Structure 1
Amino acid sequence: MDDSLVKVLVNHEEQYSLWPAFLDVPAGWTDTGVAGTKQECLSYVKEVWTDMRPLSLRRRMAESAATPS
């Protein structure tokens, strides 16, 4: 089992990714402050990333739903 440390990143679209803890955070991503084993981080992502749609799509869909036909 791989027990190397990873961290959870999030981008401006509220999409999550696991990233090796020893590497710098790439441009466009933010460190969530959550780090641990791959399984620990996957469990966290599963808990918080309940809507896989990008933020921009969710916003457009909400605007469309609020606009009368």
Structure 2
Amino acid sequence: MTGDDDTRTYAVVVNDEEQYSIWWDDRDLPAGWRREGTTGPRSECLAHIDKIWTDMRPLSLRRWMDEQPAIG
């Protein structure tokens, strides 16, 4: 199933590094992932991720970069 013929419901999921993905809503999540709260058709879930995931860097990298001294 691809494109318009995909009628499954998806869930937006996020991991501890604040990386987003989609997962079938009726399936158990893989270890390390949790539901973000948004569900719907694949295209809507992906559009939601595009809107909210504005910084693709993993959380651990963002934290590390914030701790580095400013280069002057």
Letter in 2 for 1:48: I
Normalised by the size of structure 1, how large is the TM-score?
Answer: 0.89
The alpha-carbon deviation at position 57 of structure 1 amounts to 0.2
Compute the RMSD of aligned alpha carbons.
1.2
Show the counterpart of 1:46: 50
How far apart, in 1, do the equivalents of 2:10 and 2:21 lie?
Answer: 10
List, as ranges, runs of 4+ consecutive aligned residues in structure 1 with deviation greater than 6 Å.
Answer: none
- Structure 1 unaligned runs (5+)? none
- Structure 2 unaligned runs (5+)? none
Percent identity over the alignment is 49
For residue 6 of structure 1, the aligned residue among 3, 10, 14 is 10
The alpha-carbon deviation at position 26 of structure 1 amounts to 1.6
Residue correspondence of structure 1 range 1-69 to structure 2 within 5 A: 1=4, 2-64=6-68, 67=69
Normalised by the size of structure 2, how large is the TM-score?
Answer: 0.86
